Structures are given as C-alpha cells and as structure tokens.
Amino acid sequence: MNHEHVLQTTIDDLVQTGRGILAADESSPTIAKRFQAIGAESTEENRRAYRSLLLTTPGLGEFISGVILYEEALTQQADAATLLPAAAWAQKIVPGIKVDKGKIPLALHPGDEITEGLDGLAKRLANYREQGARFAKWREVYTIGEHIPSASGIEANAEMLARYAAVCQNEGFVPIVEPEVLMDGDHSLARCAEVTEAVLHAVFHALHRHRIVLEWMLLKPSMVLPGKLQPKASPKTVADATLRVLRRTVPAAVPSIHFLSGGQGPEEATANLNALNQGKGPSPWHLNISYGRALQQPALQAWGGKAEHVQAAQQALLKRARLNSLAMRGAYLDEMENG
C-alpha cells in the first residue's frame, strides 16, 4: 500500500461533517497540573484510568473522528484490557500522536520561542505506526508583545512546522500543523489578527517550499481573539475577524481547519465555533475542532479522580462533544447548555 492511499484514507476518516478531533496529548507535567486542580495524584494508573474514561465513552465516535495522544498513552490499556489506540478505533476514532518535544527560547530573539523534536522523528513515527497511530501533531507558539513575534521568529517557526510536515508525509502520516498565537496578554483583537495573518502567510510559504501536499494535511490554528486581559469579544466579532484572516492566508486545497480552544472556556469555544460556521458562507474548508480543555474540562471536574464518577464524567464529555458537533454545523444555541 503506497503512502498516497494511506494519507487519503486517513484524511477521509478524520474530515467528516459534525465530527472533530479530541486533543488528549497533555504531557506529564501538564496533566499533573490538571489532576492537582481536582485533587487527584498524577500516577501512571490515574493517567491510564482517565484516558480510558475518555476513549471508552459510549457514543463518542458519533461526534469525534480522531484523538491526539501523548506517547505514554500508546502503550496504556483501557479498563477492558484493550490498548488505548485500539479502544479509540473501535469507535472509528483515528489514533494520532503528539510528536514535538516542547518549546525553548529562540536564540538571539528575546521573547520568541521555537519547538524541538525533529531529530529522530522518522524513526519515532515508524514505531508509532506499529502502535496504531496514523496522524501526528506539532505545535509552534507565538506570544504577542510590542515587538514580538519578530519576523525572524515567525520564519523560524514556519520552517520548523514545514520540516515536521515533510517528514510526516514521507512516512505516511497526516500532519496536523499547529501555529498557536497565544491569548496571553493585553493585546487587541486587531493586533491578534495582524499577527495571525503574518504567521499563516509564513507557514504556507514554508509548506510550499517543502513540497507539502496540502490535501493531505490539517491546519490547527487559534481563533482571532483579544488578549486575556482585554474584554471578551462577541462570537460574531471573533468569527468575522478569524474568517477574514483565513480567507487571506489558507489555500483552498487544505481540506479542514480544526481550531484549538487556546484557553477559551467550554461554552465560549463552542459559541465561537458556531459563529464561524454560521458566517463562513461558501467555503472550501470544513471548520471543525481539535479542542483539549474545552472538551475535557467538564469531564475532568466530574471525574475528580474517583472510579465511581466515571459515568458522570463520560456524560459530561459526550455533552460537550455533541454541542460542538452542532456548532460544526452552525446549529448550536446557547440554551442547549441547560438541556
């Protein structure tokens, strides 16, 4: 079987109306912080139990087409003694894997950062394939400040995303390209739009240079939002600004845009996604989700690290997945939160 067929099959399985991607790829330090907030210890068994809870939620596959996992999860088992990637695929949820190794400061560019992890990536992907993964994700981050991100920082991060994507497609993995413009700070929505447009221009120029087949990749951007220290913008304002940037920067060949939630609350992220789909009009892309906290937070709080709360946690996850499925169709209403 050649890579072209494999890549297209993965895209077909991932990109479907009303089905999004669950980001469950928290690193060990990150998941420890989330567990600490609910009074649970971050042991290997607790991490396994929580991931099992997520991936064995009955009916989740109706709304979720893929899941991004952390490396540890590929070898963990669900409660039924099935490996987690197999438990996901039992609901036709495609297993994927986070492959970057985290961010470090970009040398000689104060405030800019760059992500590590390219060394040995092809060999790691071959191993991940044996463990059931079919797509990958790599994240670059951009902090907005008076003088950042710099032009050099934007170019360096774009180059890293393109090199990662090239290795993935060469190995038969669909790459999720994630340039996250952070919400942190007091910048305006207009400033976020300016930075996001520059970032996406650079990313797609780099993808072109590295011969990435756009039909066999997914984009995972942040929405255009004001900084956390600013008043929130309305869903329509967010949608209008985000769509304007996407239309200026993202080629029609990209099959789907899977937004990250990036610090938005669960209801906020759903309402903004709904506004995007209501406002997009004729569009070459699906506008879907690849949410982490905005899908998981209600389930995590309902679970609280207790086995007797698994069913309640799964119901909370299923509710958010269902509401986001409606938002992917532009059919979500605020009053559904209480239904």
Burial class of residue 61 in the structure, from the number of CB atoms within 10 Å of its CB (0-12 exposed, 13-18 middle, 19+ buried): middle
Active-site annotation holds for 220: yes
Tokens describing residue 284:
């070459």
Calpha distance 27→41 (Å, rounded) = 15
- What's the rounded Cα separation, in Å, for the pair 10 and 14? 6
Q: Say whether 236 is catalytic.
A: no
Compute how many other C-beta atoms are within 10 angstroms of the C-beta atom of residue 278: 16
The rounded distance, in Å, linking the Cα atoms of 78 and 178 is 28
> Cβ distance 270 to 291 under 8 Å?
no
How far is CA 121 from each of CA 106, 158, 159, rounded to the nearest angstrom?
20, 17, 16
Secondary structure (3-state) at 251: coil
Which ranges constitute the DSSP H helices of the chain?
3-14, 28-37, 44-55, 84-89, 121-130, 151-170, 189-209, 235-249, 266-279, 293-303, 310-328
Find out whether 285 and 18 touch, Cβ atoms under 8 Å: no
Q: What is the DSSP letter of 274?
A: H
* Active-site choice (220, 308, 319, 337): 220
**Catalytic entry in 26, 178, 180, 280:** 178
**CA nearest neighbour of 316 among 331, 297, 335:** 297
Question: Which residues form the catalytic set?
Answer: 178, 220
